[in-house]
Structure 1
C-alpha cells in the first residue's frame, strides 16, 4: 500500500520532469504555483510510463489538456475532458487519458467516477464525426482518430484514468461497464499504488534466506577450482512470495512453516530495478499464469520458465546432517521473470487462502547467479536470459556495455540518457539540462553518419541491423555524444523559432547531417534544405514525410551540396 512518502517521492519526480521539459523546450514555463509545475511533470511521467515513450517532445505532442497547453504554449484550447490522446499504430489502440493530480495526500481518497465520464464529451464528438466545436491540437488529433476508425483496420478504444490518489477507480462497476457497452471502451485505472511500482529509484540492497532440501538444488561453478558458486533451485511459490516480499523480517524467516502471514504482504518492487523491461504501468498480469496457479498448481513447474536472479553474493551452509542447505542471497535483483513474479504476488493478494491452498503446492525454477560487483556479467545475464522472450531489441541492447558508458558519459555533460522508462538521471539531486532516449540518440548518430533518410522509417533496425555500425564501429566516438545531443536541441530550437516551416524530427535529422557535412550557419542550411524539399517532385501530390524517406531525394540533396564550393572534405 502506497503511503505519504511515496506521494512525496512522486512529487519530486514530477518536478524533475517539469525541469527537463523547460530544458527540452528551451523556455521558461511560469505556471502560477509549484503544484502546477508538479502537475505538468505528472502528465509527462505517466505518459512515458504507460506508453513507453522516452522522448519528451513526442510526449508533449500527445497532450491536449487545456491548462497544460496554456502554460506551456500559451494556447489553451478546450480539451472536452480528455487530457491526452495516443494512436498506437502497432497494437491498433486509440488511447485516451484523463489525469487528476491532487495537491494533498489523503489515504482514503478514491478516483472520482465523474472524471471518467467527462471524457465522453470528446468521445461523443469523435463517434459522431462532428469536430465543429474543437480547435487546435485537440481537433488535429481527433481528426486522425476519426480517419483510423473509418478505415478498414480494426481499432480498439482504451481510456486510462490516472491520478495520484490512493484508491483506484473500480473498473468493474456498473457505470464503467455501461461505458464499455456504449463505446467498446476498455477502462484502466491507475492510482498511487500502481504509480509507485513504476518509480525507478535505485534501491538499497535486498537480502533473503532459503532453507531447502539438497535434492532441490543444483550448484554450478565455472571450474572445479572456483569457490564462487551459482545455483539452480526448485522452490515453492509460497517460499518465493516470502523471499521477494516487502517485509524484511519475513524474507529472513527461513524456518517459516505457516505461510498464512504472507497473505497480507506485497512484492518489493525494488527487486525489478535491473529488469531489462523496466516497470511499465500498462503491463498486464498474465492470465495464463493465474489460471494455472488456480486450476493446476502442481503442473506450474512444467509450464513456466522460472525466474533468474543476480546477486552480489551467495552464501551456502549444509544443515540437518547434510540433508538440507541454508542459502543466503545478498543484494539480489530479478532480471528475468518479473511478470511471472508480479502475477504470483497478485494471485496471493486475491484471496487470503491462496497462499496455503494453491501456492504451497506450486513449484518453479529459480536460477541464482553470483555476479559480485561485476556489472558487465550481470548485464549480460539479464540480456541473454531475456533474449528468448518477446522483448524489443532496444530493451535488450539497453544493458550493453557501450550503452552504460554512454549513460555515464552523458551524465557528466548534465544529460539524462533514458535507457528505461522513468529515468531521471543517475544523480537525483543533479540539475540536468537535457533528456534523450536511446532510440533518439541512435537516430541522431545514424543521421550524422550519413543516413538521415533511414533514421525515421527504419528506426527499429537501428538496434538490430545497423547497431554495430552506429555504436560499435570506428564511426562511433563516445566523446562526441554530448555534442550531438546538444546540436539536436539547438537545431530544433532554431527551426521552431523561424515560424515559417513545419518542424519534424525527420527534418532535424537532415539538418544534423548537413551540419557535419558543410559550412554555414544552421539557418542557411535549413533554408537550403527546405527549398530543395519544396521543389522536389513538386508536380506530384506527395507529403514531405514521404519525400524525406525517398532515396532519390537524399541523392539530389547530396548532388546539390557537391556543387557548392564550401563543402567540407570528409
Structure 2
C-alpha cells in the first residue's frame, strides 16, 4: 500500500497517546516539544506490536536509547546505535531496534540503509564481548545478551529491526545488507510507514458487504425453527473474499464488477481483522500450504482449508427472481477465524495479475453468524472457534465476556484496559492510565495472595489460574482502586529514584493490600522488602528475581511483616 499524509498524521496521534500513557504512569515532568513526545511514543508503539508486549514497564525496560532514558531517568549513557533490546524468553528471540522518527512527511523519502550500519558499534561490542566502554543500562543489557548467546545449551534467534516512519522502505535491501547479516549472524528487517499502516488499526467502523451466492452453494441455519434471524454456511470464491474484505466500500457492495483490474488492485481493510484473536502480524509468514494450493491446485482449496468465520450485526437474505440465487447483505462484520487465510489470499492476489484467475477458480468455506453482541456470544464464537488452533492463551482470553466487561467498567473510571496490541481506546476517551490485560492479571494474582506466581509465567495467568483470578475471586467494583494503588506505588518508586522491578512492585502491592492493608507507608514497605532480599538465603546462588519467584520467599516475607509490625494485634 502507498501511505498518505493522513496515515502519517494518524500515526502521530497514536504516538502522542502512547507518550501520554508513559508520562502519566512514570510521572514525567520534563517539558518536551510535540515532536519529541511523538518520537518517544513511537518507540513504545512499535515495541508493543513487533514484540507482542502490552506491558508498559517491560516496554520501557527494553529501551536503552540515550534520549529516552535522559527524559525518563536523567541518565546519559551512550546507546551505541541500538535503541531497544527486547528478550523473549518463551520464544527464545532477541529483538534489537534502531528507530528513526521523521518530523515531516515526504512521500518520496526512502529509508536510509545507513540507519542499520549505525548499530555496528553495539554489534561489534556484542561480537567481541568487550563491554569496557559501555555504561549504565546499555551495559546491563549487553551483559545479559552475552550470557544468553554464550550459553551452549540454548539456541536463540536474533533480529535487528530498522524502523522508521518514512513513506518508502529500503530499496534492494537484500543486496546491501547481506554482508551485514553474514558478519554479525543476525537477521535484518526493515519496517517503514507502509508496514506500520497495516497494524495501525483504530477501532473499526462498521464494515458492510454484499454477496450473491448460487442456490446450491449455501445453506441457512437457526437454533430454533421459529427463530427469524439465521446464520449461513456458504461456498464462496476466493476472488469474492478479495472484494468483500477490500478497503473500498463501493467495491464491497458492488456484486457485478466489469473492470477486473479493480479487484486485482484491491487492498485489504485491516480493520476487518480487529476482533481476530491473532491480531495483526507484521510481515507474517503466510501459510505456505495456502499459497501452494492456490498456486498449484486452486480447485482443491475448498477441501484443504479450514475456512473463514464471520460474525455480523445483521444479515439480510433475499432470493433473486428467475435464477433463485441468494443475495446476502452483511452488516457490521468481522473476521473472527481465518484471518490468516484472508491475509494470504490478498497477498497471493497482489503478487501478479495472473493470480487473480486462480482465485476465481478456488473456493473457501465461509460461515456467517449473526449474534447479539450484548449477550457475549460474539466473543464466545471467537474464543471457541479459534481455540482449536495454536493461539496464545492471553490472545484467546482477550475476547471473553469478563474481559469485555472489565474494559467497559474501567473505561468509566478513565482507565484504558488494553486487551489488544496497538489499541488506544475510544477516540473520545480521556484516559489517565493504561493497564494491559497481562499486567492486571499479575496485580490480581498478587493481591489474591500469590505475587510469586504472577511473574513466573504469563501462560499460568491465562490458563491454569485464569478462572480463579478473573472469575471466582475478582470483585470488579474494586478493580479501578487496585489499579490506582498500583500506579501510586510506581510514582513512589519514581519519587525515590529507584529502578522499577516488576516482581518487587507486585510484592509491595501484595504486602500493602494483604498484610499491612495500607496502614504503613509504602516507602517503608519498599525498604523492608529490599532489606529482606539482601539477607534472604538460598541453597544455590540465584538472582533476586528468582528468589522472589519462590513460595518460601513470600511466606517468610509475610512472617517478617506480621512479626515486625505486630499485626496480630491489629
Give the shorter-chain TM-score range: over 0.9
Q: Deviations over 1:403-430 (max 9, x none)?
A: 111111111221111100012123x243
- In the TM superposition, 1:49-448 aligns within 5 A as 49-152=49-152, 153-170=154-171, 172-256=173-257, 259-281=260-282, 283-356=284-357, 358-374=358-374, 376-426=376-426, 428-448=427-447
Distance 1:134 1:311, change over 3 A: same
Secondary structure of the 1:45 match is: helix
Question: Residue deviations 1:50-79, cap 9 Å, x none?
Answer: 111111111111112222222332222222
Pick from 511, 518, 527: which aligns with 1:514?
Answer: 511
**Structure 1 segment 488-503 matched on structure 2, within 5 A:** 488-499=486-497, 503=500
Closer/same/farther in 2, CA of residues 322 and 224 from structure 1, 3 Å limit: farther
Alignment deviations for residues 320-376 of structure 1 (CA, whole Å, 9 cap, x no partner): 5353111111111111111111111111111122112x2111111111101254461
**Partner in structure 2 of residue 452 of structure 1:** 451
Taking the aligned partners of 2:569 and 2:222, their CA distance within structure 1 comes to: 55
Distance 1:213 1:394 in 2: 40
What does residue 484 of structure 1 align with? 482
What residue in structure 1 maps to residue 37 of structure 2?
Answer: 37
Q: Distance in 1 between matches of 2:160 and 2:553?
A: 41
Gaps of 5+ in 1: none
Q: How far off its partner does 1:179 sit? A: 1.9
* Structure 2 SS opposite 1:28: coil
Match in the other structure for 1:470: 469
State the SS of the aligned residue for 2:312: strand
Distance 1:28 1:284 in 2: 42
Q: Deviation of residue 385 (structure 1)?
A: 1.1
Query: What whole-Å deviation, never above 9, does each CA across 1:420-474 have from its counterpart, x for those lacking one?
Result: 0012123x2433221111111111111111111211114321111111111111x
- Give the SS at the match of 2:326: strand
Displacement of 1:229 in angstroms is: 0.8
**CA positional deviation for 1:540:** 5.8
Q: Provide Cα deviations, 1:119-159, integer angstroms capped at 9, x if missing partner.
A: 22211221121222222211111111111111112222211
The 2-side partners of 1:496 and 1:204 are apart by 39
Tell me the secondary structure at the aligned position of residue 290 of structure 1. Answer: helix
Residue 4 of structure 1: how far off its partner (Å)? 1.2
- 1:25 paired residue number: 26
Could you tell me how far apart the structure 1 residues matched to 2:460 and 2:78 are? 39
CA–CA distance in structure 2, aligned partners of residues 502 and 541 of structure 1: 22
Q: What's the TM-score once normalised by structure 2's chain length? A: 0.95
1:504 is the counterpart of 2:501? yes
Distance 1:147 1:282, change over 3 A: farther
Q: How far is 1:521 from its partner?
A: 1.6
CA drift at 1:563? 3.0
TM-score (norm 1): 0.95
* Bigger mean CA offset, 92-101 vs 314-323: 314-323
Distance 1:483 1:91 in 2: 34
Displacement of 1:167 in angstroms is 1.0
Check the 8 A contact 1:417/1:436 in 2, yes or no. yes
Give distance in 1, aligned partners of 2:231 and 2:88: 42
Aligned-residue CA RMSD in angstroms? 2.0
SS of the residue corresponding to residue 189 of structure 1 reads strand
